[in-house]
Amino acid sequence: MIIYTDTNLFLSPAQTLVNTVNTVGVMGRGIAKDFKHYYPRMFEHYRTICRAHQLDVGQLILSKEEPVLWRRKPTGQQRERWVLNFPTKRHWRAKSKLDYVENGLEKFVKTYAQRGIKSVSFPQLGVGNGGLKWPVVQEMMEDYLGSLDIPVYIHIYHPHTDHYDQDDKKAIEANLNVAHDAWRQCEAVLAAGFDQDPNVNVDGVVLPGNETYDRAQALAGTKELRLIDQERPAIWLQRDSHSAEPQVEQLELDI
């Protein structure tokens, strides 16, 4: 199931966030620069692998690590917020290539289940700094990802998602530090019965067209429940992020 949204990728409810990278170990522009900021140990391991010439297009690095905000606060047992580094180009100065994107998508489809990926957020792969045309990339992403049995979020670039004020930064840091399924423990969610509702996906998102959505929309004014996409409405149910701290996890890399 694909869910399109124009929200910032770092505000996604998904368990796994996709970072578009090169294979020479540089995260200096675009979304990769933000990943470098929030996941510094992930970046150091990625750079080490690249300098050893062990990463090529069609290979994916799955990193399981706590965001920088909570590196010294190990608590909890259920936190999962992973990064999947996805090469769309070889050199950072080069443009992305469509066949590189396809190679990575093929790899993802073959390996996501065995890697334990339960839901995932993608940017527009190779678009923007990569130079690829979105309609072509979109068709390819839908072909590969549309039939998967996990929630797949595709984040469409919008000016407000790329320039943050201080409140946005705080919201991002808070979101990265909450378990992707922590919303289930929210009092309002439990009271409404959404924690066991089959119309609510693993991330706490319910799409329009059913009674669950109508009930969730009526509650969306509370601090626990938020609309994540006004044009293609979907409800994101999540506990107040400031009340949850994750455990510090051992970094795991899988190429």
pLDDT tens track for 60-107: 999 987 776 655 454 444 456 899 999 999 998 889 999 999 999 999
Residue 30: left if φ>0, alpha if ψ -120 to 50, beta else—which one?
left
Cβ-based neighbour number of residue 5 at 10 Å:
23
Is 110 in the active site? Answer: no
Per-residue confidence band for 185, with pLDDT thresholds at 50, 70 and 90: confident
Separation CA 137–CA 135 (nearest Å): 6
Whether residue 249 is predicted with pLDDT greater than 70 in this model: the reply is no
Alpha-carbon distance values, 220 to 200, 225, 233 (Å):
14, 5, 12
pLDDT band at residue 189 using 50, 70 and 90 as cut-offs = confident
Q: Is 35 helix (H, G, I), strand (E, B) or coil?
A: helix
pLDDT at position 180 over 90: no
Range 27-39 average pLDDT: 89
pLDDT above 70 for 119:
yes
**Secondary structure of the chain: what % helix, strand, coil (to 5)?**
35, 15, 45
For the chain, give every domain's residue range: 2-170, 181-243
Computed over every residue of the chain, the mean pLDDT equals: 82
- Of the spans 80-84, 138-142, 177-181, 186-190, which averages the highest pLDDT? 138-142
Phi/psi at 249 (5° precision): -100, 150
Which helix (DSSP H) or strand (DSSP E) does residue 2 occupy? strand 2-5
Does this model's pTM top 0.85? My answer is yes
Out of 18-27, 46-55, 174-183, 227-236, least confident range: 227-236
CB 241 within 8 A of CB 41: no
- Confidence at residue 162, expressed as pLDDT on a 0 to 100 scale: 53
In one-letter notation, the amino acid at residue 16 is T
Of 73, 89, 95, 133, which is the active-site residue? 89
Q: Is the pLDDT of residue 151 over 60?
A: yes
**What superfamily does domain 2-170 belong to in CATH?**
Leucine Aminopeptidase, subunit E, domain 1 (3.40.220.10)
Residue 13 in this model has a pLDDT that exceeds 70: yes
When pLDDT is averaged across residues 214-222 and rounded to a whole number, the result is 80
